[in-house]
Chains A and B, each alone.
Chain A
Amino acid sequence: MRIRDSISARRNTLLSIALFSCIQITLGFFLITGQGSDDVQPIQSAQLTHKTFAFKNINNTDFLSENLKNDLKLASMNTRITPTD
């Protein structure tokens, strides 16, 4: 019973790793064809100088305040565009 369990567990682990590799291949094709970029060409969107997940980049409070700043900037632009006569 124990042997059968370990064999099936090992088989499941190998199958899950194979699934991960299939996901990785899919992601690779996704990157090559450039379907991931919304409105940017693949080569232009390739700069890795920001937002690589393994390294420091995200400060939650800073990010929220930056987002708020963008909203405020958009709001001020909208009011500026509105005709005032």
Chain B
Amino acid sequence: MISYYKSKHPGLFLYLSLITLSVLTFLFLESNTQQIGILSILWGGFVFMRTLSLYEVSERFAPFAKTGGASKNTNKKSSALPHDLMHRMSGQNHMSRGLFAMNATHERTSLWFVLGLAYVAYHLYLSKYAMPMDILVQNLSIFFMIGAAFWAGQTYAYSNKASKLLIVVCSLLFGLALFTISGTATHHIYNALTLSNLVSYSNDASTPLLAALILYSAVILLYSCTYGLSYSINACIGLILISLLVICGVTFEQTSQNIALWISGWSLFSVFWIRSYSHTRKVYALYQCE
């Protein structure tokens, strides 16, 4: 199990390995059902372990939030042996990092998942007569993989070192995916940017909800600029990245390599998404009230 008692960023390298493995599989291998199944199980297991580690942090800080800190009464029944106390003190710093990672459970992230589920439901509604069972399960697995990459990326991006590492690795993978998919990628993007082509793509199933995502990001950017928030540049970068993903998704041909582009793109976006907000003051205020 990955725990904040043992590591500063539990599971970070496992996450990076999974991202790299997924992107390389979809880019260079003739990905079949079994490979997608194995990747899906790996991602599901990783997200489950990551959830458990955050659950550990949540339960660890719950008594502190209620009582206002450690007291003799709360520690009376526990075994206060020296090594146990040392273990707790070393874990305390790591736990405080985990509290920042808990910001990935914010309602804003839930809104992305609700939008994503609405997107999938809309897609299934449009293709309900034509989609066989195995394709349906494949698509759901791929959707969960993208969602897992996005959510787990947010749980690590609170830290400066971890976010820099994430940006480097995900940018490399994103660039590799863009480079590998097609030598005419810039040609596709240039064509998509012309108004007539965008109008001709308006019948596509993915366009309306992705347009809603862009609108949502634009509202965030406007909010950040209105209140003069210095970290709004992250929202701006995220907005550009999502726009690029939308254009690529609308214009590129359908291949499994596009999935690699989406996984790397959403994991890269998660870093900018979580860092476009400052959470510290809010968390502090949360535990001071009552």
Instruction: Name A's B-contacting residues (CB within 8 A).
Output: 1-4, 6-7, 10-11, 13-14, 17-18, 20-25, 27-32, 34, 36-38, 40, 42-43, 45-46, 48-61, 63, 67
Contact = CB atoms under 8 A, between A and B. Distances in A.
Contacts of B286: 2-3, 6
A23 B43 CA distance: 11
Nearest to A2: B289
B171 interface: no
Contacts of A52: 138-139, 142, 254, 256, 258-259
Interface stretch (B76-84, B199-207, B227-235): B199-207
A66 to B, nearest CB: 8
A14 B131 contact: no
A7 B44 contact: no
A57 B127 CA distance: 10
B48 interface: yes
Contact of B138 (A18, A31, A57, A63): A31
A38 B133 contact: yes
Contacts of A28: 36-42, 44, 141
A27 B148 CA distance: 14
Nearest to B145: A24
Contacts of B204: 56, 58-59
Nearest to A56: B204
A55 B218 CA distance: 22
B26 to A, nearest CB: 8
Contacts of B256: 48-49, 52
A4 B62 CA distance: 8
Interface in B200-244: 201, 203-206
Contact of A57 (B140, B145, B146, B254): B254
A21 B250 CA distance: 28
B10 interface: no
A27 B258 contact: no
B31 A48 contact: yes
B32 A43 contact: yes
Given A3-B289, A54-B258, A55-B254, A30 B58 contact: no
A58 B133 contact: no
A3 B263 CA distance: 35
A55 B249 contact: yes
Interface in B118-152: 120, 123, 126-127, 129-148, 151
B131 to A, nearest CB: 6
